[in-house]
Amino acid sequence: MAGSIRTALVVVDLQPDFMPGGALAVDEGDQIVAPIRDVVMSGRFDVIVATQDWHPRGHISFASHHAGRRPFDAIDLYGHEQVLWPDHCVQGTSGAALHPEFPRDWADAIIRKGSDPAVDSYSALRNNWNQFGDRPPTGLAGYLRERGVTNLLVCGLARDYCVKWTAEDAADAGFKVRFLWDLTRPVDPSSDDAVRRDLLAKGVNIDG
């Protein structure tokens, strides 16, 4: 029906490497798993998408790829700041799998990001900047438009990186976006005020 509202839920990077004990643990990341599973199983959504960090070994965002650098150092990469991370979500490893507490085939689509060894990818909709100064699309925006989606709800890990960038890019792409704040956790809790300001500036609605 023309003008109808169709809603998608985007669950960002619920992977063991981002849980306590994982390679890039987000504090309390495990505490949002059960509530997000309940939202997934609620039957409220026309489309459910999961994203999955999916890095090759030796990825350019890994501190181990840069001699003399440590995790959480920042470098200039293609004219933009790049945080260097511990090796995480390496393709095919258990830490890169989607969280095992979710039922099989719970997502209508899985977007794997960060698979280009020379480019990082926080957002589910667009990669980070490449050597040509571009942020190539992942294909998610087109997938959602083909299914008539107008509204997005986003949640997952981590609040101040992949969830934030996903919400901002979705708003820029013309979707009406709600950010489920309580169903996210940050790498850096001191960033929360700045994250809220940035999201509101993009027109993202914040729940929580």
| pLDDT tens digits in sequence order for the chain, 208 residues long | 445 889 999 999 999 999 999 999 999 999 999 999 999 999 999 999 999 999 999 999 999 999 999 999 999 999 999 999 999 999 999 999 999 999 989 999 999 999 999 999 999 999 999 999 999 999 999 999 999 999 999 999 999 999 999 999 999 999 999 999 999 999 999 999 999 999 999 999 999 8
Active-site residue, 162 included: yes
Q: In whole angstroms, give the CA distance from residue 169 to residue 153.
A: 13
Question: 13, 53, 87, 169: which one is catalytic?
Answer: 13
What are the boundaries of each domain within the chain? 7-56+98-207
* pLDDT of res. 130: 97
* pLDDT of res. 40: 97
Question: 30, 155, 162, 164: which one is catalytic?
Answer: 162
Active-site residue, 13 included: yes
Instruction: Report the SS3 class of residue 151.
Output: strand
Beta strands in 13-136 (DSSP E): 47-53, 74-77, 80-83, 109-113
* pLDDT of res. 3: 59
Active-site residue, 113 included: yes
Instruction: Report the SS3 class of residue 185.
Output: strand
Q: In whole angstroms, give the CA distance from residue 64 to residue 80.
A: 19
Dig out the tokens for 113 from the structure.
Answer: 């990001």
Question: 113, 155, 160, 169: which one is catalytic?
Answer: 113
Half-sphere exposure of 47 (CA within 13 A, CB side): 23
Is it true that domain 7-56+98-207 has CATH number 3.30.420.10?
no
Q: In whole angstroms, give the CA distance from residue 46 to residue 44.
A: 7
pLDDT digits (tens, 9 = 90+) for 14-39: 999 999 999 999 999 999 999 999 99
